[in-house]
Amino acid sequence: MASRFDYYEVLGVARDASPQEIKRAFRRLAKLCHPDVGRPSSYRYPFEVVAEAYRVLSDPASRREYDRTLDRSAGGARGGEVARGEPVRRGGARAGPSPRVSFWSRLKSSYRSFRIGSVISSLERSIDEAERLFRERSSSELRLEEGLDPVEVLCRAARSSNPSLALQALRRLREHLLHPRAADAVLEVLRCASSPMVLEEAIALCGFMKSPRKLEALRRHLLGEDKRIAAMAASAMATCGPSAVPHLLEALGSHPEVALAALRELRGKFAEFLTPADLLPLLRSEDVSLRVEALKALSTFKEQREVASAIRSLGEFDGHPLVRFWARKLLEF
């Protein structure tokens, strides 16, 4: 919120004044306007205002914040001028004049309609502008203060309930994942976050982390409602090593999208754990990509009779040409 006073003007210092200059200005003015001085104040601002200006400008963080509001209000004033020129083009009179009214009253009513249109346009623009500034503010909330541990600040922001802030913090945490606090923060986000976008980012980060606890955190999402997130969790889980295999095998029975992600990871990293018993049911799935993926996985077992016959029947009777193609191709080799 903007103050009524320009604090730089109150203290009589330049915008780029050093902390020492600000302090000196405060001392000089305090000796003019503090009630203890005994004589009536010879300064145009009361001590309270001088003290407030000093409080805001002597703390680096609050000074930066104040500078930003100054910049913004200067920018806002310019935006206002542009806005005033615009309605002429946009808010044209669109009132349908009734045929029986006179020319003058038609002109009057169309003029009024034009004015109303321009009031509404300017309201629309004000709302746009307010929203834009708000978004800007909430994205710029994430500032790294000097002296504070950046990881600490990011971790705090990542836990924020503001999704855009949390998302931004998580993206920047990517560089600090070796930090144990960062890993903790990501895991906590995994546990508590409600925004899908934030969760996706956290799950993606999980893939880069080495934390023994991440398997547990991911498992919850593997079984969750949101299929997209569950699929991502399945992919991230593969980085946990062989301990993830039982969960991934379990996920094969889940929603096709999740099963597909789990199957891809299993094939890529843990092919030795796959058995025909896990894969054959997938051939009956409704999802084409899942059937194809299962076929490819089964190709290593085609010496087994039941596997070969299952592939062959798919090559002949499957409803989708792509599946038939892959089944035939696999049998040829």
**Which residues contact other proteins by CB under 8 A?**
1, 19, 23-24, 26-28, 30-31, 34-37, 47-48, 51, 54-55, 60, 94-95, 112-113, 115-117, 119-120, 122-124, 126-127, 129-131, 133-134, 137-138, 147
Closest CB to other proteins among residues 1, 74:
1
Closest CB to other proteins among residues 129, 287:
129
Q: Are 56 and 66 in contact (CB under 8 A)?
A: yes
Closest CB to other proteins among residues 80, 180:
80
Q: Minimum CB separation from other proteins for residue 6, in Å?
A: 18
Q: Which distant-in-sequence residues (6+ apart) come within 8 Å of 329 by Cβ?
A: none
Q: Minimum CB separation from other proteins for residue 276, in Å?
A: 53
Q: Minimum CB separation from other proteins for residue 181, in Å?
A: 19
DSSP type of residue 70: H
- What the block records as the tokens of 91 is 């808010």
Closest CB to other proteins among residues 161, 309:
161
Closest CB to other proteins among residues 72, 324:
72
Task: Tokens 């300017």: give the residue.
Answer: 122
CB count within 10 Å of CB 28 equals 13
Between helix 196-206 and helix 214-222 the angle, nearest 10°, is 140
Q: Minimum CB separation from other proteins for residue 177, in Å?
A: 28
Q: Minimum CB separation from other proteins for residue 147, in Å?
A: 5
Phi, psi of 143 (to 5 degrees): -120, 145
Q: Minimum CB separation from other proteins for residue 91, in Å?
A: 9
Helix segments in the chain, DSSP class H: 7-11, 19-33, 47-58, 60-85, 87-90, 103-140, 150-158, 163-173, 180-192, 196-206, 214-222, 227-237, 245-251, 256-269, 276-279, 288-298, 305-317, 321-332
Closest CB to other proteins among residues 127, 223:
127
What is the C-alpha end-to-end distance of the chain, expressed in Å?
Answer: 73
Q: Minimum CB separation from other proteins for residue 94, in Å?
A: 6
Closest CB to other proteins among residues 150, 207:
150
What torsion do the CA atoms of 17, 23, 28, 31 make, to the nearest 10 degrees? Answer: 150
* Closest by Cα among 108, 82, 104, 86 to 95: 108
